[in-house]
Amino acid sequence: MDINFAPIFAFSANAIYAALGLVAVFGVFQVILLARKISEKRMNPPATARFREGTQEALSRRDWKGIGELCDSPEFWSKGVPQMVLVALEQLDRSPTKLRQNLAEKFERDVLSDLEYASSWINTIVKSAPMLGLLGTVAGMIQAFAKIADTQKTGGDPSALAGEISFALFTTALGLAVAIPLVIAGAYLQVRMGKLQDHVQEELSWFLDQLDVVRNE
């Protein structure tokens, strides 16, 4: 008994287009979300200068409460460096080496892990989009070969294969069209994540050096 693949082909075409559309929307959402998270955690140069100045002034007076209030101010409370400084203020009884180690672990666990989680979704979408396109290619070629077999039996018009072949190629192109911009966006965001990490490490190193000077006076 011959199987009619037309309904299956029509369903698979709509399903693959819908899946690629959802993947593209979700990928853009994750890119925007990750970009906002990175911007939220990093201070720009003027803000960094203001934070250093305020922290230096409070350190010179051993005003730990003042440093905490500065870190909790609306301008700085969401930034990565002030968050780590607050953690340092809670662990002033620890040795400088242990304090540095704890801050590095805290930053990696609470800040970087959240960013890596969003980045992993982007990487997953980059891999999934071409695979969905390939699935459409396979579905289209199956339908095309089925029509070739039917054409040989019934003597139908070979031009009817154009729709299946077009679908097969178009889904591949669509999958790549979704994946390629996300690859570029993901690489750009990875660079920004690296710069954020360097920025936090640099500012924390400065703060801990100043803290060691004050504590040793």
- Buried b / exposed e along 58-85 (16+ C-beta atoms within 10 A): bbeeeeeeebbebbeeeebeebbbbbbb
Gap between the Cα atoms of 213 and 217, Å rounded:
6
Q: Residue 1 has what pLDDT?
A: 43
pTM for the whole structure: 0.80
Question: pLDDT band at residue 31, thresholds of 50, 70 and 90?
Answer: very high
Least confident of 12-26, 31-45, 162-176: 162-176
Q: Residue 148 has what pLDDT?
A: 72
How far CA 217 is from CA of 61, 163, 185, 212, in Å, comes to 12, 81, 48, 9
Question: pLDDT band at residue 18, thresholds of 50, 70 and 90?
Answer: confident
What is the helix (H) or strand (E) element at residue 110, kind and residue range?
none
Percent of the chain with pLDDT over 70: 86
φ/ψ of residue 94, rounded to 5: -85, 160
> Euclidean distance between the first and final Cα of the chain, in Å?
93
Across 192-217, average pLDDT: 88
Gap between the Cα atoms of 201 and 193, Å rounded:
12
Average predicted confidence (pLDDT) for the chain: 85
Across 131-154, average pLDDT: 75
Gap between the Cα atoms of 101 and 37, Å rounded:
24
Q: Residue 134 has what pLDDT?
A: 87
Gap between the Cα atoms of 38 and 46, Å rounded:
17
Look up residue 73 and give its DSSP letter: S
Q: Residue 171 has what pLDDT?
A: 85
**pLDDT over 60 (residue 57):** yes
More confident residue, 206 or 13: 206
pLDDT for 67-116, tens place per residue? 999 999 999 988 999 999 999 988 888 888 888 888 888 888 888 888 99
**pLDDT over 90 (residue 33):** yes
Gap between the Cα atoms of 96 and 211, Å rounded:
9
